[in-house]
Amino acid sequence: MAKVRILIAKPGLDGHDRGAKVIARTLRDAGFEVIYTGLRQTPEAIVSTAIQEDVDAIGVSILSGAHNTIFPKIVLLLKERGVNDIIVFGGGVIPDEDIPFLKSSGVSTIFTPGTSTEDVVKFVNENIKPKHAA
Amino acid sequence: MDSFTQRVLDGDELAAARLMRLTDDRIKGYDAYMRNIWRHTGNAHVIGITGAPGAGKSTLVDALIYEYRSKGKTVGVVAIDPSSPFSGGAILGDRIRMSGHSNDSGVFIRSVATRGHLGGLSVSAMDIAAIMDAMGKDAVIIETVGVGQDEIEVAAVADSCVVVTVPGMGDDIQAIKAGILEIADIFVVNKADRDGVERTVKDLETMLSFTPRHRYNWTPPIIKTTASEKSGIDTLYERLEDHRSFAMSALKAEKQQARLLHAANGIIKERVFTELFHSQKLSEAIKNERNDPYTAVEKIWEQCIISTGN
Ligand SMILES: Nc1nc2c(ncn2[C@@H]2O[C@H](COP(=O)(O)OP(=O)(O)O)[C@@H](O)[C@H]2O)c(=O)[nH]1
Ligand SMILES: [Mg+2]
């Protein structure tokens, strides 16, 4: 009866959340529970929400170019609050050369434009399990 | 008392969130904690918010949270959204309307999927509300999906039940669903910025005057709100406080009993279907009895009675 729970967040001040919504729907249709919080979330708000919802993963969509500060901030805040069982992954307009830095700061994977929705589902199926479920 | 439960009772967010997860997922051993939790409930003002999808329930809850916080009260919210009957997944989006409270430690919001319990309030949702009550939240708000049986059930288990409608609904007698008039302790006509509010209020008043309801001396007020502008919320808060004082004296014990019974009923159903009549066992019995569901159930029933020694 355990279900994977994923927070889909869209930080930053840039306009739309079309991509984040597509991912949310894809994940729902693959049988996961998605907590969707809408636009303009700060890293602090994202982490507080992830804790209250006790999710297995946070998927962050970033178009604004602020990925090099936002991702490490989220990872750091999780650590500061004593959370070590939430996977962070991301997607959006992120240049290839930034990806090694993001991964070394604790981001599990980055989906760049052109990634198919099947790839995202495959990633979740292979890497994210409900906590505690035997 | 074990230290984990103690942390929940002390209001520790990480522990409470974790217990909600163990409970929602029915992870082996969760019930040992819930036994202690339930014994510590009965202090919060449990408020049910119901009404059709899109009526503005989440927006109203958001505005109410600000109102409660401005009075120094802490708030827990159980926000229920439907699971997809096809995939079993869900998009839980009520938090979109409540994002202003993410950094307020006096507010705990939890999104819950129906997980196949559509048509009623799941034991999980009740358990999560109980955890918030036991954590010491002053008000625990349950936002229902707003379809079918869950509206009636939330009214049975909440101290105060708020039914949200919008202008225009009164134009069509069918739009006021059967049973809705009887369950509301407070009516909210939300989206009062739209045309037709006065007419909807009048229609509701008329319908209410023909509705024999209260065994108790309480007439449900009708309140106009524009939740998106936080207008009318102070009045809603006052009426909720009035009803709380009323419910505390006339109904509190009865309501707490209703919650415990509702939870117990759900626990029985869950155990019967997971332990005794799980679907594989049923399918086999039906096959063995050459497609006779009555005999199939009878056979399993007899086995259960024999094995429990009755
Ligand atoms: N015009 C108007 N729109 C509102 C009001 N309250 C909520 N809404 C909008 O109604 C839509 C549904 O609101 P939501 O709170 O999600 O409804 P729920 O499905 O009942 O939880 C959203 O677009 C809200 O912004 C209101 O008082 N006036
Ligand atoms: Mg809602």
Distance B101 CA to ligand 2 centre (A): 16
Per-residue model confidence as pLDDT tens digits over B28-48: 999 999 999 999 999 999 999
When the pLDDT of each residue in chain A is averaged and rounded to a whole number, the result is 92
- pLDDT, position B44: 96
Instruction: Please tell me which residue of chain B has the smallest CA distance to A44.
Output: B103
In tens, the pLDDT along A31-69 reads: 999 999 987 889 999 999 999 999 999 999 988 788 999
> B111–A53: do the CB atoms touch at under 8 Å?
yes
Percentage of chain A with pLDDT > 90? 72
Distance CA B177, CA B52 (A): 10
A129 Cβ under 8 Å from any chain B Cβ: no
Average pLDDT of the residues of chain B: 89
Tell me the per-residue pLDDT of B124-134, one tens digit each, with 9 for 90 and over.
999 999 999 99
CA B46 to chain centroid: 9
Decide if pLDDT at B121 tops 90.
Answer: no
Report yes or no: A13 at the B interface, CB cutoff 8 Å. Answer: no
CATH architecture under which domain A5-127 falls: 3-Layer(aba) Sandwich (3.40)
Chain A positions touching B14 (Cβ under 8 A) are 51, 81-83
- Across the beta sheet with A5-11, what order do the strands follow? A109-111, A87-92, A57-62, A5-11, A33-41, B90-92
> In angstroms, what separates the C-alpha of B8 from chain A's closest C-alpha?
13
pLDDT at B141: 98
Residues in CB range of B225: below 8 A, 6 or more apart: B60, B63, B188, B189, B190, B192, B231, B232, B233, B235, B236
Residues near ion ligand 2 (CB < 5 Å) are B 57-58, 94
Say if strands A87-92 and A33-41 run parallel, antiparallel, or are unpaired: unpaired
B68/B171: higher pLDDT: B68
B191 CA to centre of ligand 1 in angstroms: 7
- Find chain B residues with C-beta within 8 A of A27's C-beta: 89
Which residues 85-124 of A have a C-beta within 8 angstroms of B? none
Tell me the CA–centroid distance for residue B303 and ligand 1, in Å. 52
Segments making up each domain of chain A, as ranges: 5-127
Residues of B with Cβ-Cβ distance to A29 under 8 angstroms: 84, 86-87, 89
